[in-house]
Amino acid sequence: MHLDHSHDATGAPVPSADARRPDGRRRALRIGLGGPVGSGKTATVAALCRALREEFSLAVVTNDIYTREDAEFLLREAVLPPERIAAVETGACPHTAIRDDISANLEAVEELEEETGPLDLVLVESGGDNLTATFSRGLVDAQIFVIDVAGGDDIPRKGGPGVTTSDLLVVNKTDLAPYVGSDLARMAADAKAARGELPVVLQSLRGEGGVGEVAAWVRARLAAWTA
């Protein structure tokens, strides 16, 4: 579906993830964050906003299973002004809204860009879902898959599209590993085996490094996007 929508003369929303807006400006980079329920997607989004908001113009779209829970967490934490956070209802199917029928998410991204733009980066957070839930390339330019050590250290070995094909795999909550009996070295080795050259970050948002490595990865994607 890569028709030449970039020169759409009507000024109306263009169908898919074209790199330019109707006015010819380069649109914001869109990064999706997916992963199982409770793995720390929202906490990672909040930490990324705090790390990047001074350098870049940011906005967030959330896809709660129950509407607005994640959006309200981000509002409560005041990581961004409220007009930069939009929530999309998913009709009990979070994976449908980020993969099979992305229209509501595209609308949310475009509205944020129209109302608060120009933006450098839009983070699209999926509702918590299963290991097969990945983002459509019509919606995001890159995707981060977030799993955590407490969800079981066999998840990297089990694989699935999120673990094997995401642009960045984050193994979150490494500080909990000793308490839940997860073997971090094994998780890292399994992830490496499943992903080849694709990067993996082991992170604890409570630790010293915090979201630093993921933020650095996002900065590199932004540099490549605007180059």
* Interface with other proteins (CB under 8 A): 1, 3, 10-13, 15-16, 65-69, 88-93, 96-97, 100-104, 106-107
Question: Does residue 212 sit in helix, strand or coil?
Answer: helix
Between 89 and 167, whose beta carbon lies closer to other proteins?
A: 89
Smallest distance from the beta carbon of 36 to other proteins, in angstroms? 19
Smallest distance from the beta carbon of 88 to other proteins, in angstroms? 8
Between 100 and 197, whose beta carbon lies closer to other proteins?
A: 100
CA dist., res. 56 & res. 73, Å (int): 21
* Structure-block tokens of residue 102: 């992305």
Between 57 and 67, whose beta carbon lies closer to other proteins?
A: 67
Between 9 and 227, whose beta carbon lies closer to other proteins?
A: 9
Smallest distance from the beta carbon of 166 to other proteins, in angstroms? 22
Smallest distance from the beta carbon of 10 to other proteins, in angstroms? 4
- Residues 85, 72 contacting (CB under 8 angstroms): no
- Residues 148, 44 contacting (CB under 8 angstroms): no
DSSP one-letter string for 7-71:
G-TT-SPPSS--SB-TTSSB--EEEEEE-STTSSHHHHHHHHHHHHTTTS-EEEEE--SSTTHHH
